[in-house]
Structure 1
Amino acid sequence: MQYRYKRICLLAALLWMAVIFSFSARPADESARMSHSVGDWVGRVFVPGYEEWDEASRQEFAEDIDYPVRKCAHAGEYAVLGVLLTMALTDRRRVMPAAAIGILYAASDEFHQRFVPGRSCQLTDVLLDSAGLLAGIMLVLLADRLYRRFRQRSR
């Protein structure tokens, strides 16, 4: 059962890497439209009275939060990847391989963006991706530790 679970997690990690690649392959204007739509959603959900704002104010709000939305997306994408890679690898020595695979993928993905119209390759994005990845890895380790502690107490 454990082997099957690890294989499913590995497949999920590979599929998620493909999703990340597809986001990075989008030209800058398409990527901007997507982050603006997320900004609009954030406004509708979290800003009281947002629905009553005029279109220009909504657009300005979406543009104002565009940068944080993009950076959170970077970290979030790679946090999910960190979780999946850590869960796919063997128990004891999984942190270093998961981190190495994820960081190398972040660097290669950022390099890939150099060749996409309107996109660029930024070291700060690789660092942000890596931070998200490490947060995902740490989340799995914390959950694993809590699970083991809970299991010991219930025996």
Structure 2
Amino acid sequence: MTALTLLVMAGIFLFSGADGTRSGMQSGIFAGLLFWMNPEDASFLVRKTAHFTIYLVLGLCMNGTLREWGIHSRSRRAFLSVLLCFLYACSDEWHQTFVPGRAGQIRDVLLDTAGSLTGTVAAILIQWPAHRRRKNGTGV
């Protein structure tokens, strides 16, 4: 799980390193599918959805990584997962301030953190039945 988490983080870093023109073109490909929307609004929606979604995946992965590392308390794992994703989001937005045509934005950090919180909660809910079976001594 650690390798997958690092892979997701590397993907985020690579997408953040794309200059403004390239990033706009990448968003434009998917925004074109939203033909009924104003192109500018569609591009905005695609970019923000991408932020939320990739950090949702990072939250899922980070939770698994922390569990793999021996942090079994769900509340501690959730807190650390969201905190680490938040710190990574901050570093990601800071990284974008060095990329031509890009800017770091607080609202993106908040959106990223909301995505990671959603992913973390989803990971805990997915693991919940197995946890209950182990706690009750009835399975896995």
State the shift of 1:63 in Å: 3.3
* C-alpha contact 1:36 1:63 (8 A) present in aligned 2: no
AA in 1 matched with 2:12: I
Partner SS, residue 100 of structure 2: coil
Structure with higher Rg: it is: 1
Equivalent runs, 1:1-155 vs 2, <5 Å = 9-40=1-32, 42-43=33-34, 58=35, 61-89=38-66, 90-92=71-73, 93-149=76-132
Partner SS, residue 65 of structure 1: helix
TM-score (norm 2): 0.84
**For residues 148 and 37 of structure 1, do their structure 2 counterparts lie closer, same or farther at Cα, with a shift above 3 Å needed?**
same
What per-residue deviation string (whole Å, max 9, x for no partner) do you get for residues 29-84 of structure 1?
Answer: 100100110122x34xxxxxxxxxxxxxx597543311111000000010000000
2:133 and 2:85 map into 1 onto residues whose CA distance is: 30
Alignment size in residue pairs: 132
% same residue: 38
State the shift of 1:150 in Å: 6.6
1:94 and 1:64 map into 2 onto residues whose CA distance is: 36
1:110 and 1:67 map into 2 onto residues whose CA distance is: 17
1:82 and 1:10 map into 2 onto residues whose CA distance is: 12
Give unpaired runs (5+ residues) of structure 1: 1-8, 44-57
1:37 and 1:83 map into 2 onto residues whose CA distance is: 27
1:53 is aligned to: none
1:130 and 1:38 map into 2 onto residues whose CA distance is: 23
Could you say what the CA RMSD is over the residues aligned between the two structures, in angstroms?
Answer: 2.1
Give unpaired runs (5+ residues) of structure 2: none
2:11 and 2:97 map into 1 onto residues whose CA distance is: 18
AA in 1 matched with 2:45: P
